[in-house]
Amino acid sequence: MNPVEKLTALIDEVEERMAANNSVSNYNNNLRKENLKRTHELYQLLKVEEKHENFETIFMYKAMNLSGIGLKRDDFCKIREGKYIQIISIAYDVNNDGKKIARNLSLGYFGKAEKVSEELRKDIVEFVLRWRYEKAFRHTEHYQELLSKL
């Protein structure tokens, strides 16, 4: 293969990789847009806006958990008998001594687990999972930005 052919082959390979990367990037962007749209729908449906008025800033919390319904593989979507279903966000504050302390905030209280309809339970679980998914996208952006500075 002469130098021109090698260069042409290299250019073709680079263009193929760029096209593949753009395809993955477009897929991720569309996936993220769909996730945000559905998360916002659930935010309204579950009346989370009553506890946290600004949808965009809801992702400032460090974490989001759920009480009364299992999120682990072995108890996924199963209610915890006698418990109350609640969406709990976790924020960190600094106390007077400069120590970081966790603060749990209720974003939604839905009553005794046994009395909440299966459809509502699924919406609650979906909201928490979609919030976490968006949070993961935001962490990815952060690390991509840091890597680009290297």
Task: Tell me which DSSP letter residue 96 carries.
Answer: T
62 pLDDT band (50/70/90 cuts)?
A: very high
Place of tokens 């976490």: 132
Strands (E), 6-81: 63-67
CA 44 to each of CA 3, 25, 29, 60: distance values in angstroms, whole numbers, following the listed order:
61, 29, 23, 18
* Tally of structural domains, the chain: 1
The most confident of 25-29, 41-45, 93-97, by mean pLDDT: 41-45
CA gap 18, 29 in Å, rounded:
16
Once rounded to an integer, what is the mean pLDDT over residues 108-133? 96
pLDDT at 110 over 70: yes
Q: Picking from 16-25, 109-118, 129-138, which range would have the lowest pLDDT averaged per residue? A: 16-25
Domain span at 38: 3-148
**Residue 108's CB: how many other CB atoms inside 10 A?**
20
Between 36 and 147, the higher pLDDT residue:
36
Plot region of 13 (φ>0 → left; ψ -120 to 50 → alpha; else → beta)? alpha
Who contacts 69 (Cβ-Cβ below 8 Å, separation ≥6)?
A: 77, 78, 79, 80, 85, 113, 121, 124, 125
